[in-house]
């Protein structure tokens, strides 16, 4: 047995992807990781290796699941897209038409599209809260609804790292009577046989890989109030990783699954709303989902970002060469992408986190190798 056992497969012609995966381990950049890709519906890469625990006593195998943090967001956005046809005005609907209390403090005209594209001005709580509030999703959503926005929706955007999930979670629940995690399980992941959940029951916790957190903070650029509120207050996030955090639904941050499942779900972006040949997002809803809603200097992140309705567009070229690729990264380095022109989707997951906000070098190496084989 090698120090970092690696298993899985690649289709003929994609051997350079396995070489890149092995190189990440050989250079001591990983503890455990998975990388998967689909092309035209075929699983062309499915690799897993290393260890799921810090003691290196449990191999990372095809049954290992791991939190992907913000890579969860576009999957939650797909859940909403799968039910948005039931709303006559679709993404142009005012959030307050569905969730009356959200209209407080000048937010009455914020649309669903604006909320999903990080324009609502609610990146976090400006005043102190008990961080345990984040572990009570509906109470947290109600508290967010009471806030005054930090900017006027439609005039700017700033990434909502955690609050985004509570807002979409409450919206979907009010729209459908079902939670994001329930719809994901019953309508998307379950029928597709995909090992991914938002809200993971205790029976699956022993399969979850240990997280090795980064030793340094990410580079957040020049500090401003929106960035501070989003990331750097003592109350900006709860304790992440405990049983409660795993079991509740946080559609912005606590999706847990395999790289194969994440790649399959991002395949919905690569295949115009279809999952394994089954249309789960209508053509009309799909076009509205991926439409650019905002682009420009992010008020929270230190670069220009481009958002559709809950998913990033590849304006920085970090997710392959296609600017129309739909994509997202998660805290520590995870990544998902769906390229609609090549019908290609891919996902990288791991448990040794880096401090990269986007463009983790390990993930970039894999994505570049993948595209190099096409």
In this prediction, residue 216 carries a pLDDT of 83
CA 274 to chain centre: 19
Q: What pLDDT was estimated at residue 222? A: 86
Rounded CA-CA distance 274/101 in Å is: 34
Gap between the Cα atoms of 340 and 333, Å rounded: 23
Instruction: Work out the angle at residue 213's Cα, subtended by the Cα atoms of residues 208 and 216, and round it to the nearest 5 degrees.
Output: 165
Gap between the Cα atoms of 19 and 14, Å rounded: 9
Q: What pLDDT does 94 receive? A: 98
- The CATH number linked to 73 is 3.40.710.10
How many CB atoms are closer than 10 A to CB 29? 17
d(C-alpha 79, C-alpha 264), whole Å: 14
Would you say 341 and 358 are in contact if contact means Cβ atoms under 8 Å apart? no
Is 145 domain-assigned? yes
pLDDT score of 44: 98
Question: Looking at residue 325, what DSSP letter applies?
Answer: -
Distance CA 336, CA 182 (A): 21
Overall pTM surpassing 0.95 (yes/no): yes
The predicted structure's pLDDT at residue 326: 98
Answer whether residue 16 is part of any domain: yes
Query: Is 62 within a domain?
Result: yes
Q: What is the pLDDT along the chain (374 residues), one digit of tens a residue?
A: 457 899 999 999 999 999 999 999 999 999 999 999 999 999 999 999 999 999 999 999 999 999 999 999 999 999 999 999 999 999 999 999 999 999 999 999 999 999 999 999 999 999 999 999 999 999 999 999 999 999 999 999 999 999 999 999 999 999 999 999 999 999 999 999 999 999 999 999 999 999 999 988 888 888 899 999 999 999 999 988 789 999 999 999 999 999 999 999 999 999 999 999 999 999 999 999 999 999 999 999 999 999 999 999 999 999 999 999 999 999 999 999 999 999 999 999 999 999 998 899 999 999 999 999 99
How many domains does the chain fold into?
A: 1
The boundaries of the domain holding residue 88 are 6-372
Asked whether residue 96 is assigned to any structural domain, the reply reads yes
1 within a domain of the structure (yes/no): no
Q: Tell me how far apart the alpha carbons of residues 274 and 266 are, in angstroms, rounded to a whole number.
A: 10
Residue 342 lies in a domain: yes
Does some domain include residue 116? Answer: yes
Bridging pattern class, strands 326-329 and 255-257 = unpaired
What is the pLDDT, as a whole number, of residue 297?
A: 97
């Amino acid at each position: 047995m090698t120090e970092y056992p690696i298993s899985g497969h690649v289709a003929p012609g994609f051997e350079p992807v396995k070489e890149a995966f092995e190189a990440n381990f050989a250079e001591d950049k990983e503890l455990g990781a998975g990388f998967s890709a689909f092309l035209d519906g075929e699983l062309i890469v499915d690799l897993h290796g290393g260890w799921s625990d810090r003691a290196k006593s449990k191999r990372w195998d095809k049954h290992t699941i791991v939190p992907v943090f913000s890579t969860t967001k576009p999957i939650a956005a797909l859940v909403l897209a799968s039910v948005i046809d039931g709303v006559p005005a679709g993404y142009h609907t005012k959030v307050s038409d569905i969730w009356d209390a959200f209209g407080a403090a000048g937010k009455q005209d914020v649309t669903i599209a604006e909320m999903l594209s990080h324009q609502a001005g609610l990146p976090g709580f400006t005043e102190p809260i008990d961080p345990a509030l984040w572990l009570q999703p509906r109470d947290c959503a109600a508290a967010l609804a009471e806030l005054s926005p930090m900017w006027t929706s439609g005039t700017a955007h700033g990434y909502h790292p955690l609050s985004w999930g509570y807002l979409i979670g409450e919206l979907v629940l009010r729209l459908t009577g079902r939670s994001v995690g329930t719809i994901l399980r019953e309508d998307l992941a379950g029928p597709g046989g995909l090992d991914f959940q938002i809200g993971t029951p205790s029976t699956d916790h022993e399969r979850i890989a240990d997280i090795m957190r980064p030793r340094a903070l990410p580079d957040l650029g020049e500090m401003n109030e929106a960035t501070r509120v989003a990331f750097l207050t003592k109350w900006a996030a709860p304790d992440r990783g405990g049983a409660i955090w795993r079991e509740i639904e946080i559609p912005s941050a606590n999706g847990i699954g395999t790289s194969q499942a994440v790649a399959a779900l991002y395949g919905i972006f690569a295949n115009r709303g279809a999952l394994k040949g089954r249309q789960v997002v209508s053509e009309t809803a799909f076009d509205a989902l991926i439409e650019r809603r905002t682009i420009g200097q992010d008020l929270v992140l230190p670069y220009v970002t481009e958002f559709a309705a809950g998913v990033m567009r590849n304006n920085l070229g970090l997710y392959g060469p296609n600017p129309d690729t739909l994509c997202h990264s998660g805290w520590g380095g995870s990544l998902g992408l769906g390229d609609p022109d090549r019908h290609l989707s891919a996902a990288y997951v791991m448990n040794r986190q880096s401090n990269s906000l986007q463009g983790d070098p390990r993930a970039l190496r894999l994505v570049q190798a993948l595209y190099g084989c096409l």
